[in-house]
Each structure stands twice: as C-alpha cells, then as structure tokens.
Amino acid sequence: MKLQRVAILLLVLSLTVGFEAVMLDRFTSEEISIDQPVSTPVPSSDVQASDVPAQTPVPTFVAVPTMPGFTSPPLGGGGSSGGGGGSSSNSGGSSNNNNSSSNNNSSSSKPTAKPTAKPTNPPPPTEKPGTSVGSGSFSSNTGTNLNMNVSWEAREQGSGKCRVYITGTINSYSISVASHPVSISFGGYSTSTMGKSLNVSNNGSLTSSSLFSTYIDVPSGTSGTMSVSWRFGGTYNDVDITDVEASGNVYTD
C-alpha cells in the first residue's frame, strides 16, 4: 500500500511539474514576442561625440496641384514669380521700396515753391488833364452792318497846345478779325495805333465792340476834318471792304 501511494504521489508530482513547465514555456514565448526590447547600438568608448555627424531633420513637402497660370513658390518661400498670394506679398514689398525711394527723392531734391504773382487791380481812371474845349462823334457808312463809330474830346493843355482824345468802336453782328492798324489825321497832323482783334458770335443783335483808344496833339485853335481809317481787308455780307473809314468835323477852341 505504501508503494502504491508513493507511486501515485510521484505521478501527480510529475504531472504538476510538466504542466507548469508547459505554461512557463508558453508565457515566456509570448512575453518575448510582445515586450522584447529593441537593442540600440552603443558607441564604443573610442568614438568621440564630436565625430558623430549631427542629423538634421529633412523637411517634407507635399505637392499641391497648381492651377493654370500659377507657379508654386520654391520651398522656403520668398519666391518672386507667381500669381495670387505670392504676387501680393511682393507688391507690398515694392510699395515699401517706392515709398522709400520717394522719401529719398524728396530729401535729396525738394522742389522750390515758385512765388505766384498776385493779381493787381487795374489803376483807377485818371481825370484827363486840361480844360475841355469841345467833343463830338462821327461814324462810317460802308453800306453794310459793319461800321466804325468815333468819339473825340479836345482838352486845352496850356502853352498853346491842345490834346484830342479819340476812341473808336465797331458796330456789327457776327465778326472775327485779327488786330489791324488804325490811321488818324487831323489839321495836318497824324498818328496811328493798332486796332484790337474782334470776335463776335452771331447773337442776332447789333453789337458794339471797342476797337482803339488814343490821342493826338495839335496847336490850340486847330479846326477841320478828322479822318480815321481802319484797315479791315476782308468781306462782310458779301461786300469786299478794304478800309472802314469815318470822318467828321473837329474843333479845339
């Protein structure tokens, strides 16, 4: 009986040891396959840390599909070519450059302000010197609506001299003519002046336009006919007119 118990005990013990061995082997194999550490090479003591080249991270670039007419800027930015956003940043830079250049230009050469001439009031009309001894007027007769009216005033100047002031106007409808000379003769004395240019539009009414203003000096007491001639040299109302002439009596006493 004792031998049978010992045999049974040994059998149970062997079965237990075998089961534990199987479980241990399975657990060990799974642990190694899951948690087995990866060994990293350890530099030997003969290699210095300075001899090992430093590794720089390599940037990754994901290609973006481009649209027609758009060029992607190179890696790192700062591209000068490209539409859309790239050109807007460049345009901003160019505007700054323009501002700086304009500042430089303004600092290097500042425009000098030119003095502006202040408008002057026309001089007040002065009283004609001397004592008035006569005045009058006369007109031309060209047979058209273009005629000259002459007004005169004689003023005694003293010392046996008289000055005759003469003004002329042109009565017309529409007319356009350049400046032409005016000749005046009176009592054996003569003078001349330039008539004004005239530009009168066809306004449907007779218009009086200033032509000239001048004077002639003669001895006191001179009387006679004054002749005034304006060189027209054109056609008016289909009538050829070389000179517009007017004459009238003038006296100085």
- Is 169 part of any domain? yes
Name the band, by pLDDT with cuts 50, 70 and 90, for residue 54: low
- In the DSSP assignment, the letter for residue 50 is G
Distance CA(139)–CA(46), nearest Å, equals: 131
- Is 109 part of any domain? no
**pLDDT value, residue 57:** 53
Which is more confident, 204 or 29?
A: 204
Least confident of 121-135, 198-212, 234-248: 121-135
Q: How many CB atoms lie within 10 A of CB 122?
A: 6
Query: Which domain covers residue 245, as residue numbers?
Result: 131-251
Average pLDDT of the segment spanning 162-178 = 95
- Is 4 part of any domain? no
**pLDDT value, residue 41:** 52
**pLDDT value, residue 24:** 64
Nearest to 137 by CA among 173, 174, 164, 175: 164
Average pLDDT of the segment spanning 27-42 = 50
Average pLDDT of the segment spanning 130-157 = 96
- Is 81 part of any domain? no
Average pLDDT of the segment spanning 212-231 = 96
**Residue 132 identity:** S
Maximal C-alpha separation, the chain: 195
Are 135 and 239 within 8 A, CB to CB?
no
pLDDT beyond 60 at 32: no
**pLDDT value, residue 173:** 92
Token pair of 81 as six digits: 């070519």
**pLDDT value, residue 118:** 46
- CATH number for the domain harbouring residue 241: 2.60.40
What's the chain's average pLDDT?
Answer: 73
pLDDT beyond 50 at 202: yes
> How many domains does the chain fold into?
1
Token pair of 159 as six digits: 């010392």
- Is 2 part of any domain? no
- Is 235 part of any domain? yes
- Is 42 part of any domain? no
For 101-129, the pLDDT digits (tens) are: 444 444 444 545 444 444 444 444 467 88
Token pair of 49 as six digits: 């840390």
**Which helix (H) or strand (E) element contains residue 49?**
none
Instruction: Measure CA of the first residue to CA of the last residue in the chain; give whole Å.
Output: 194
- Is 201 part of any domain? yes
Average pLDDT of the segment spanning 228-233 = 96
Distance CA(166)–CA(168), nearest Å, equals: 7
Which is more confident, 7 or 138?
A: 138
